[in-house]
Amino acid sequence: MDAQANPNLSETLSEKRAGFVGLGLMGGRMAANLLKAGWNVTGWNRSAAALDEFAARGGVRAGDVAALRDEPVIIFMLPDLSYIEDAAAGLLALWAEESPKPGTAVVVMSSVSPAAVRDFGATVAAVSRGNAVVVDAPVSGGTKGAEDGTLAVMAGAEEHDFQRLLPLFNAIGSTVRRLGPLGSGSLAKACNQLIVGTTTAALAEAAELAERSGMDVEALYEVLSGGLAGSRVLDIVGPRLAAKDYEPTGPAKFMHKDLSFVLESAAAVGAAVPMAAAGVELYAELKRQGLGDLDLAAVRKTISNLGDSVATSSHNQLRNSKR
C-alpha cells in the first residue's frame, strides 16, 4: 500500500508532530534540531535533568512513553533494543486495545541488531493491526554531528515510508540514505561501527607504539592525516587519542555490542569478518578493565594496559632467566 492508495499515510506527517524517547547525549541534540526545524516534539526521558533541558528548548514533556500513543511518529534513541522494548511495553498495550492511526511510524534510531529489529517490526505490526510500521534509522556522526544536524542517517524502510519520513530525517542529518527494507539501516550501522571501532583501535595502537618509542603522537597523526591513512576517524577521534582525553562523548562499551551485531549478521550470510572478531575481543577487554563508560578513545588506555602487562611479563621472564 502506498501513500496515494491511503491518504492517511501522508497526512500523519503533515502536522510535523513527533514523540521522542531518549534525550541523552545524542537524543537530546537530535530532538533540539527537530524543534529548530519547526517540529512539535513531545519527549520522554528517564532522568529529569535531560527532560528539563528539552523543555527549556521548547519541547513538551510526556508523563510516560504510553502518553505518546497518538503521535504520528515516535522516535526511540535508547542504548539497545531491549531498552526500547521495555520502554514501549505500555505503548503497545494501549495499541493492542485501540489501534493507532494508519501510517503511524515507530523509528528506531539506536544501534540495534538487524535481526532483532525485524522481529520488533513484526510485533508492532501485529499489535497495531498493521496500522503502525517500524523503521530502523540509526545515525553516525557523534555528539558533534547531533549538535550540528549533520548526522548520517541510515534507513531501513519501504520506499513510501522513507519518503514520508524524509523531512524528519533531513532535520537531523545531512546525509540520509535508504539502504533497503527494515533491518538494512541497522546492518549499515554495524558496518559503520566495524570501520570506526577497528580504525580507532589501530590509531590507538599506533599512538602507543609511537609514544613508547619516543615519538610525538600529535606529530605522527599530523603527517598521517596528509597521506592515505587520513580519515574522518583520525580527524575526530585522533585529538582525543593523542591527548588521552577519555571524557565520554558516548560510552565505549557500546562498541562491543555493535561489533557483536557484525558477527551475528556475518554468521547469518556466511561472511568472514576477522577484523570484527578481533574488535569484539578488544572491546570486551576494555569492559573487563572497567573503562566501558569512558569515551571510545579509551581503547588507547586498554591497549596501554595490555602493553604494561606484556612489559611486566617480559621483565619477569628476563629476571628469572638470570637466576
- Positions marked active-site: 189
Contacts 24+ apart (CB under 8 A), 76-79: 76/21, 76/22, 76/106, 76/107, 76/108, 76/109, 76/110, 77/20, 77/21, 77/22, 77/23, 77/24, 77/26, 77/27, 77/30, 77/109, 77/110, 78/21, 78/22, 78/110, 79/110, 79/254
Candidates 98, 94, 87, 92; CA nearest to 20 is 87
Cα→Cα distances 63→10, 66, 76, 99, Å: 28, 8, 16, 21
Query: At 136, which helix (H) or strand (E)?
Result: strand 132-136
Residue identified by cell 493491526 is 129
Residues 6+ apart with CB under 8 A from 216: 210
